[in-house]
Amino acid sequence: MMTTAVPPVAPGALPYDDAEMPLALVQAKTRRLVLRVIWTSTAFLVVAGILGLLLRLRQAEVITLGDNFWYAVMTAHGLGAFIAWAGFFLMGITFWVLMKVGLPIRSFVLPEVMYWSMLLGVIGIVLTTLLSGFGGSWVFLYPLPFNSAGQWSDMVTGVFSISVLLAGVSILAYCSAVLHTCIGPGLKAKTDTVGQRVGLTFGFGLLFPSRFKTDRGKIPYPVLPFAVNAVDMFLATLPFALLLVFQVIESVNNGFSINVLLAGNLLWAFGHPVVYLLLFPAAATYYYLIPRYAGRELVAGKAVAVAWLIALTMNLFVWAHHLYMNYPDGENVQQTLGTIMQPTTYALVLPSALSLYSIAATIWRSDFQWNVASKFLIAGIVSWLVAGLQGIINATAAFQETLHNTLWVVGHFHNMAFLNMGLLIFGAMYAFLLELMGRGWWNERLGSWHLWGTVIGAYGWVTCQMIQGLEGAPRRWAVLPEQYLTLTHISVGFLALLVAAQLVFAYNLWTTLRKSPFDDPGAAMQGGTQR
């Protein structure tokens, strides 16, 4: 039986380990909330994964699906995998990591709103797509939702928009809860004012230690990406919510419409930052876990704090790189936005580059503890680097005539979302299950099979998509032109390996929950699950 877990470290090795633990009741409630999010988001992964498999099997001509159903499946898969699985999981795990660095949830109202609004929103999305046929894709590029060519009604568009709005409410509640937790007394500002707390939360304590003093010695680094993400996603969700409200109005009032370019900008003001709803909490979790496996504090100084301040501001000014190809004659504003947002998007490379440096320096010549959890984390970090390089290519306007709306983009975001954040999620499950449930994983060998099957299967699949994209294969085509069929077939082979690896994981998890004894009561929190 394997007992992969977050390892203990020598006293004083990590400055925030001795943070006062919250009341047992808060620990128990946090544990139950986090576990609920983990199981719910994992259920969403199962559904979204099956849908994704159907999409590729249809493209490979292994199965047949009705044309509109294929696009409805695509819509459900996109929202399901990105928001309902990866986003939701990382939203939940945020509160565990924050508690572990001495910042327990201060109120459970907002996290409960987060949970229930996400659940309701996902149910609405599933119903409107898979049952009512809404197939406008997860970006539902206006005015397509109201021009379905007879495939779904305006009312369905309205209900779909409300469902996505509920997911947006979940994100807003999450952001509020994170900020409420971080800008609390947990960071122990010496002068306990709101300004001092805010300054400490956003890294000013690292930059100006004499002006922003704390009794904690050093601010835990995971707080920075969590807090930056909370502010940015709060602000980025608002214009998106406005677009959704417009769509709800138009669904009941046909005379109402909005400008197409404005709609595109409102969409992408959210549509790009939402990537960081996954990446920034993932970075925070790496910041928390890697030092534990390396047995030393994260090697980071003021540069990392500067990088996160850059992310805080620039993240809100990058959306137009999704609209590089929208440069209508005489519309200089859109062209100017495109010109400005190439360097602002490049600026967002800095938090990733410095984080990777810090993580690498932390691992360098450390007595690193290798187990399934830490191997998943390492694989995720390497993918962060690889997908980040692809991101720089995507941010370059001059390359878009070759790449825009091709399968290259699909390969890229699966590389980033599944092979970076997804591997982190699996790593976090392997790492945290012992302390969340008080039981170790059933079989380490199965964990290794899961790792290698996932890495080889997923890299084989996304590499096929990226090559197809470079050859001009269009994205969002239910039936691809024949010239791309060979690589599609090859990718299905890799997908089969990926699916097999997830079945191994499911078996290991199921067996763990059923048979693994309660082997480390000390690691379980108050009220731990004990059968």
Classify residue 61 as exposed, middle or buried by CB count within 10 Å of its CB (0-12, 13-18, 19+): middle
If the CB atoms of residues 39 and 364 are measured against another protein, the closer one turns out to be 364
If the CB atoms of residues 43 and 389 are measured against another protein, the closer one turns out to be 389
Can residue 366 be called a binding residue for another protein (CB under 8 A)?
yes
**Site residues (CB under 8 A) for another protein, limited to 376-435:** 378, 381-382, 385-386, 389-390, 392-393, 396-406
Least distance to another protein from the beta carbon of 46, Å? 26
Kindly write out the interface string for residues 329-358 of this chain, putting x where it contacts another protein by CB under 8 A and - elsewhere.
Answer: x-x---x--xx--xx--x--xx--xx--xx
**Site residues (CB under 8 A) for another protein, limited to 119-138:** 135, 137
Instruction: State the Cα torsion 288-424-501-139 to the nearest 10°.
Output: 160
If the CB atoms of residues 365 and 514 are measured against another protein, the closer one turns out to be 365
In whole angstroms, give the CA distance from residue 55 to residue 74. 7
Chosen residue from 18, 20, 67, 519 binding another protein by CB under 8 A? 67
Least distance to another protein from the beta carbon of 71, Å? 6
Kindly write out the interface string for residues 467-506 of this chain, putting x where it contacts another protein by CB under 8 A and - elsewhere.
Answer: x--xxx-xxxxxxxx-x-----------------------
Token pair 């400055």: residue: 15
190 DSSP assignment = S
**Site residues (CB under 8 A) for another protein, limited to 261-320:** 261, 294-297, 299-304, 306-307
Of 102-110, 240-248, 464-472, 494-502, the segment contacting another protein by CB under 8 A is: 464-472
If the CB atoms of residues 370 and 531 are measured against another protein, the closer one turns out to be 370
Least distance to another protein from the beta carbon of 460, Å? 15
Structural contact between residues 285 and 424, judged by C-beta atoms closer than 8 angstroms: yes
Least distance to another protein from the beta carbon of 207, Å? 12
Provide DSSP, 20-52. PP--HHHHHHHHHHHHHHHHHHHHHHHHHHHHH
Least distance to another protein from the beta carbon of 135, Å? 6
Cα-based distances in Å from 447 to 21, 85, 172, 418, 508: 31, 20, 35, 17, 8
In whole angstroms, give the CA distance from residue 198 to residue 224. 11
Tokens coding 391: 């991101």
Question: Hey, CA dihedral for 335, 336, 339, 343, is it positive or negative?
Answer: negative
**Site residues (CB under 8 A) for another protein, limited to 7-26:** none
Cα-based distances in Å from 294 to 9, 210, 352, 451: 9, 30, 20, 20
Angle at 279 (CA atoms; ends 44, 163), nearest 5 degrees? 40
If the CB atoms of residues 166 and 320 are measured against another protein, the closer one turns out to be 320
Q: Is the peptide bond before 143 cis (omega within 30 degrees of 0)?
A: yes
Of 41-49, 206-214, 228-236, 361-369, the segment contacting another protein by CB under 8 A is: 361-369
